[in-house]
């Protein structure tokens, strides 16, 4: 344990908590009276770099299996009180079942399924460790959702091959959203049951379709994520085929929607053939230049079901920019970024405009997803807002289980300080825990123009830049 001046850095050997839990702990400790800055994190290379950048001296012997508690005190702050805050936050961070038990918790996925041989596995350990846990589930004969990203591609292929041999479903890796019989896994939105089944190689793409269908009062019984690489040449749609097969034999599913970022052409052809052989009709929502966007694809789904296409809601109004040249898209949803880029490029050309996906692997190694930890996007938003070349800002906010409890409250102060027009797509349903209406109102009150449709938000941003709609 070291303490220098008002700074305190403590290494806790062998202590472990996941990055999301430690993010919450850090936020809580930062709120303790007398604490100027606090960071509680596993000593991964990225976190050590962050801590060093904050001015903390992390002991050189720290390994990725050690927890670092770093605190900077304000004048008059008490280290004892701050450390007590750390202990309280760590204790409160988990809502594990209370009460006495004679059985220690399982230490592996395999041992958990030997105790309770039913249900599905949800894996969100660091990507380098995810394969072993997911294979445990497959070997136990269970479906598995792999929320983890940064899983090597060759491991994904081996995992899905093993699952396909057993008729099991691997959702992921990097699968952010799934709904199984109404149960939301990961960042799933709260939806009503209904006639639609979704297969999605795109987490936020799936959430956009869920949100739009919910607004149209059409329910979804299952939404099976398969991971963004499933329709790549290497994976070949292994999970997509299994998911389609399952929805096809489910009597409650009247129409299947397949949502994906641009697939590999030869895989797309194979999946089209596979879908054509099913007894349940399949609507393809495959993003790409010249293809319908997700809103248009959802409208096609509604038409196919004989439902009325509603007006997609817009709240607030952005004024045209009085300077700048470029559209700056800052996204937490990868498919939202991809869709916006495709639409904006068609309308504005590819030069100069930028579309950043903060959920990309390069931004999430060793840190929580931006739907949970908005810090990185807020930093970039501040920089983009100060850039005189910025003309219009385009953002997304994605709601649902597991996502930040009140993302609009964190984003609104930053938006209120921006002098450029801000257009936001809020992807969520009326029953989501964050409260769709409240999120929209908060952002609109801060000056943003808020859409439910990401495609409509992008077209509006382009319109503000002077392009024809």
Site for another protein in 208-227 (CB under 8 A): 222
Q: Is 290 left (phi over 0), alpha (psi -120 to 50) or beta?
A: left
Of these, 85, 172, 184, 205, which contacts another protein (CB under 8 A)? 184
Nearest to 247 by CA among 284, 210, 280: 280
Closest to another protein by CB, 115 vs 469, is 115
Q: Which is nearer to another protein, 181 or 306 (CB)?
A: 181
Residues 31-90 contacting another protein, CB under 8 A: 42, 63-65
Of 102, 50, 41, residue with least CA distance to 69: 41
Of 244-252, 312-320, 350-358, 424-432, the segment contacting another protein by CB under 8 A is 244-252
Binding-site member from 58, 82, 89, 135 for another protein (CB under 8 A): 135
Chain positions 253 to 312 lying near another protein, rule: CB under 8 A, are none
- The span from the CA of 362 to the CA of 372, in Å, is 16
Q: Does 180 bind another protein (CB under 8 A)?
A: yes
Of 20, 36, 46, 305, which one interacts with another protein (CB under 8 A)?
A: 20
> Looking at 250, 254, 360, 406, which residue binds another protein (CB under 8 A)?
250
Shortest Å distance, C-beta 193 to another protein: 10
Please select the residue that binds another protein; options are 28, 30, 155, 260, rule is CB under 8 A. 155
Q: What is the DSSP letter of 119?
A: S
DSSP state of 195: S
Q: How far apart are CA 192 and CA 190, in angstroms?
A: 7
Q: Which of 8, 72, 142, 377 binds another protein (CB under 8 A)?
A: 142
Shortest Å distance, C-beta 200 to another protein: 15
Residue 199 binding another protein, by CB under 8 A: no
Q: Quick one: which of 113, 312, 331, 358 contacts another protein (CB under 8 A)? A: 113
| Contacting another protein within 370-409 (CB under 8 A) | 372, 401-402
Enter the tokens of residue 73. Answer: 């005190």
CA separation for the pair 169, 162 (Å, rounded): 10
Q: For residues 289 and 92, what is the distance between their CA atoms, to the nearest angstrom? A: 48
Closest CA to 427 of 384, 456, 391, 465: 456
Q: DSSP secondary structure string, 258-270? A: EEESSPPHHHHHH
Closer residue to another protein in complex, CB, 63/233: 63
Residue 392, CB-side half-sphere exposure with 13 Å CA sphere: 26
């Amino acid at each position: 344990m070291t303490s220098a001046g008002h700074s305190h850095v403590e290494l806790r050997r062998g202590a472990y908590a996941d990055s999301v839990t430690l993010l919450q702990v850090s936020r809580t400790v930062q709120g303790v009276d007398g604490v100027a800055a606090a960071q509680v994190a596993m000593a991964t290379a990225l976190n050590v770099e962050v801590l060093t950048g904050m001015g903390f001296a992390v002991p050189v012997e720290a390994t990725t299996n050690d927890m670092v508690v770093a605190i900077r005190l304000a004048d008059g702050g008490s280290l004892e009180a701050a450390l007590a805050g750390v202990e309280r936050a760590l204790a409160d961070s988990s809502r594990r079942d209370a009460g006495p038990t004679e059985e220690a918790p399982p230490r592996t996925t395999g041992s958990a399924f030997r105790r309770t041989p039913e249900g599905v596995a949800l894996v969100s350990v660091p990507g380098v460790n995810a394969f072993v846990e997911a294979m445990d589930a497959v070997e136990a004969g269970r479906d598995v959702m792999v929320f983890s990203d940064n899983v090597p591609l060759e491991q994904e292929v081996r995992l899905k091959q093993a699952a396909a041999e057993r008729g099991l479903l691997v959702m992921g890796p990097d699968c952010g959203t799934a709904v199984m019989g109404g149960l939301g896994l990961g960042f799933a939105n709260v939806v009503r049951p209904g006639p639609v089944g979704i297969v999605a190689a795109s987490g936020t793409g799936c959430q956009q379709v869920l949100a739009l269908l919910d607004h149209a009062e059409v329910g979804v019984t299952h939404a099976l994520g398969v991971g963004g690489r499933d329709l790549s040449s290497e994976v070949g749609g292994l999970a997509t085929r299994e998911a389609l097969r399952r929805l096809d034999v489910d009597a409650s599913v009247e129409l299947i929607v397949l949502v994906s970022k641009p697939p590999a052409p030869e895989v797309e052809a194979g999946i089209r053939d596979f879908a054509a052989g099913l007894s349940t009709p399949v609507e393809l929502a495959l993003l790409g230049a010249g293809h319908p966007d997700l809103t248009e694809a959802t409208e096609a789904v509604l038409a196919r079901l004989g439902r009325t296409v509603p007006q997609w809601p817009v709240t607030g109004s952005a004024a045209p920019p009085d300077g700048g040249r470029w559209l700056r898209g800052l996204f937490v949803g990868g498919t939202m970024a991809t869709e916006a880029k495709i639409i904006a490029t068609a309308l504005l050309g590819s030069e100069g405009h930028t579309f950043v996906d903060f959920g990309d692997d390069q931004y999430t190694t060793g840190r929580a997803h931006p739907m949970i930890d908005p810090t990185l996007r807020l930093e970039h938003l501040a920089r983009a807002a100060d850039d005189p070349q910025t003309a219009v800002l385009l953002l997304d906010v994605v709601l649902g289980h597991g996502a930040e409890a009140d993302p609009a409250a964190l984003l609104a102060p930053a938006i209120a300080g921006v002098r450029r027009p801000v257009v936001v797509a809020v992807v969520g349903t009326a029953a989501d825990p964050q409260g769709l209406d409240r999120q929209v109102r908060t952002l609109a009150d801060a000056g943003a123009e808020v859409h439910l449709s990401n495609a409509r938000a992008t077209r509006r941003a382009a319109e503000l830049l002077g392009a024809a709609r």
